[in-house]
């Protein structure tokens, strides 16, 4: 019998559970008692230096999360990507939450396949194993064979809709009830954050929706040779079954595992971060669950950019065009240390109310963000800033819009994954050059408007120091300064002579007039800066580097 699942409804699902007190009350008590015992054990044993004690504690933590079910496993997976938040011996155990959970009965899996696809697994496939190769929070994966090709057949866990519906309601109830007692000031009801989590989970258990997501994601990256998306096998997919081509790669779990397979960890960090930035800032559609179990390092690629495969497209989300452009502006304002404008960005995104006096936030923002970069933008560490920002949010009326819940989860998970591969990784060492290149090469109307804000002040005068900062970020702090030189020069020239470049040309001419007189000082500085950056010697290096990278 094929199932049809409803969408998540906070009020409707709460009413459904309240009308079933024999389910609601025992489950709430069980969750509360479980967490009380866990808290007490961590309180008394968490600081122990005895390795056996910590090993047993990490195993107990894993067992507790696993026992509580899919909703809590999803939360535990987020923790498993943060080596800067969770001690290493616990982290090793929590990593198993990604795809090494206890499997459900193989006979039940076979029954679900037959119910969903109309025939038994042994009739549908040439070879079908007697046990899954991986088992995750929502399903388990079998490596099947047909027409001499291997396929990944993911079968959903039984009774999943009921379990998630029940526990999301209880999480929301407990979160709303306990939030006043917690030392948090996220400014928005924690219930709204859990609502976003619930909606995402309800979408994730609909494998037909996941199939659509996989096709859309593959289309977005079809021109990217470093990103691989497994092919969907529609004839073997349904509401509770999804089948794709098999990925023969290495999971991005740790540096040693990649090196054992002669793969360069840093190359996959760059591909991972750049693809994540593309999802947020170009496509407006992103993978909201980028943990190591959902990403594979593939052979090929080069030392700069490795080949990366994404799997599991159940938890996806979108970002509006307005939010996307405001985030780009916010990053530019951080680069330029324009904290009042940054406060305006936060206000536009909904992190601050319209009534908030933004001037009062300039110094606190400068304190949190200004000292985080040190001598180079690459010294930025998201965890350090997050810690400081948490204090800022507690002291000032910041709020977290619920629509940003999955965006924050994706960014934090991605930085955590990169930190697993390289503890010294700094996310902005890749992110800043990416944003700088986008500003200098993307000729869309929206990005051009942001670029003009960087180049010219409100009076129309050239801001030499900001142009220099932008070029330095791309060509000085970047590790591959020459590879972007020709594309940036080409895009800049095209823009300058194009119809869209009329605003740039007009502003350049107006900037030469000061006090009704022609003033060429800034123009000379700009020309000197361009001449030094795009010198024939640098062009030659760029051409050589581009040729080498093709081999």
Residues whose CB falls within 8 Å of the CB of residue 225, separated by 6 or more in sequence, listed in order: 307
The structure tokens 């000729």 sit at: 443
**Does residue 258 contact residue 264 with C-beta atoms inside 8 Å?**
yes
Distance in angstroms (rounded) separating the CA atoms of residues 256 and 245: 27
The 250-251 sheet, strands edge to edge: 227-228, 307-310, 295-298, 250-251
**Residue 289: active-site member:** yes
Distance in angstroms (rounded) separating the CA atoms of residues 283 and 279: 5
CA 336 to chain centre: 24
Alpha helices for 319-404 (secondary structure H): 321-335, 339-349, 362-369, 382-395
Residues 294-316 as b/e (b if ≥16 CB within 10 A, e otherwise) read: bbbbbeebeebbbbbbbbbbbbb
Instruction: For residue 16, give the nearest of 194, 200, 167, 176 by alpha carbon.
Output: 167
**Does residue 255 contact residue 299 with C-beta atoms inside 8 Å?**
no
Instruction: For residue 109, give the nearest of 151, 155, 63, 170 by alpha carbon.
Output: 155
**Does residue 474 contact residue 488 with C-beta atoms inside 8 Å?**
yes
Instruction: For residue 69, give the nearest of 5, 191, 162 by alpha carbon.
Output: 162
**Does residue 375 contact residue 394 with C-beta atoms inside 8 Å?**
no
Distance in angstroms (rounded) separating the CA atoms of residues 464 and 476: 16
Here the tokens at position 276 are 């994540």
Distance in angstroms (rounded) separating the CA atoms of residues 549 and 551: 5
CA 377 to chain centre: 20
CA 71 to chain centre: 19
Give bridge partners of residue 152 from the DSSP assignment.
143, 244
Q: Which of 13, 195, 203, 289 is catalytic?
A: 289
What's the sign of the alpha-carbon dihedral 102, 201, 195, 170?
Answer: negative
**Catalytic residue positions, numbered:** 289
């Amino acid at each position: 019998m094929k199932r049809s699942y409803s969408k998540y409804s906070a009020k409707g699902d709460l009413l459904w559970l309240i009308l079933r007190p024999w389910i609601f009350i025992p489950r709430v008590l069980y969750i509360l008692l479980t967490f009380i015992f866990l808290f007490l054990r961590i309180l008394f044993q968490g600081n122990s230096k005895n390795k056996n004690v910590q090993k047993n504690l990490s195993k107990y933590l894993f067992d507790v999360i696993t026992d509580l079910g899919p909703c809590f496993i999803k939360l535990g997976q987020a923790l498993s990507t943060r080596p800067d938040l969770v001690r290493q011996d616990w982290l090793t155990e929590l990593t198993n939450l990604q795809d090494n959970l206890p499997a459900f009965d193989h006979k039940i899996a076979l029954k679900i396949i037959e119910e969903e696809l109309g025939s038994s697994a042994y009739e549908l496939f040439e070879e079908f194993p007697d046990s899954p190769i991986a088992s995750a929070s929502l399903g388990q994966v079998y490596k099947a064979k047909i027409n001499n090709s291997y396929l990944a057949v993911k079968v959903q866990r039984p009774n999943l809709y009921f379990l998630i519906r029940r526990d999301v309601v209880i999480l929301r109830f407990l979160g709303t009830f306990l939030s006043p007692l917690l030392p948090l000031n996220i400014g928005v009801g924690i219930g709204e954050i859990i609502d976003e989590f619930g909606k995402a989970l309800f979408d994730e258990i609909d494998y037909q929706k996941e199939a659509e997501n996989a096709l859309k994601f593959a289309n977005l990256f079809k021109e990217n040779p470093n990103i691989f998306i497994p092919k969907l096998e529609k004839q073997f997919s349904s509401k509770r079954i999804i089948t794709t081509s098999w990925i023969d790669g290495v999971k991005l779990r740790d540096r040693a595992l990649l090196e054992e397979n002669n793969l360069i960890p840093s190359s996959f960090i760059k591909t991972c971060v750049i693809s994540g930035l593309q999802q947020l800032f170009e496509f407006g559609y992103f993978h909201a669950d980028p943990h190591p179990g959902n990403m594979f390092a593939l052979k090929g690629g080069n030392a700069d950019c490795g080949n990366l495969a994404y799997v599991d497209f159940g938890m996806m989300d979108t970002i509006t065009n307005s939010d996307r452009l405001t985030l780009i502006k916010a990053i530019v304002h951080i680069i330029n240390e324009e904290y009042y404008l940054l406060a305006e960005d936060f206000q536009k995104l909904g992190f601050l109310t319209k009534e908030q006096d933004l001037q009062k936030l300039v110094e606190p923002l400068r304190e949190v963000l200004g000292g985080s970069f040190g001598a180079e933008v690459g010294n930025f560490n998201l965890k350090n800033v997050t810690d400081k920002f948490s204090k800022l949010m507690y002291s000032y009326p910041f709020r977290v819009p619920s629509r940003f819940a999955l965006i924050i989860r994706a960014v934090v998970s991605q930085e955590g994954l990169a930190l697993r591969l390289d503890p010294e990784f700094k996310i902005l060492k890749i992110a800043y050059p990416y944003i700088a290149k986008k500003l200098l090469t993307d000729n869309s109307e929206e990005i051009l408007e942001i670029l003009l804000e960087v180049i010219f002040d409100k009076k129309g005068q050239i801001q030499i120091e900001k142009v220099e900062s932008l070029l330095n970020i791309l060509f000085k702090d970047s590790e591959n300064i020459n590879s972007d030189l020709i594309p940036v020069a080409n895009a800049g020239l095209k823009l300058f002579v194009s119809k869209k470049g009329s605003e740039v040309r007009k502003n350049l001419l107006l900037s030469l007039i000061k006090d009704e007189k022609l003033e060429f000082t800034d123009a000379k500085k700009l020309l000197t800066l361009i001449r030094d950056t795009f010198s024939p010697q640098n062009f030659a290096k760029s051409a050589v580097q581009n040729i080498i990278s093709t081999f």
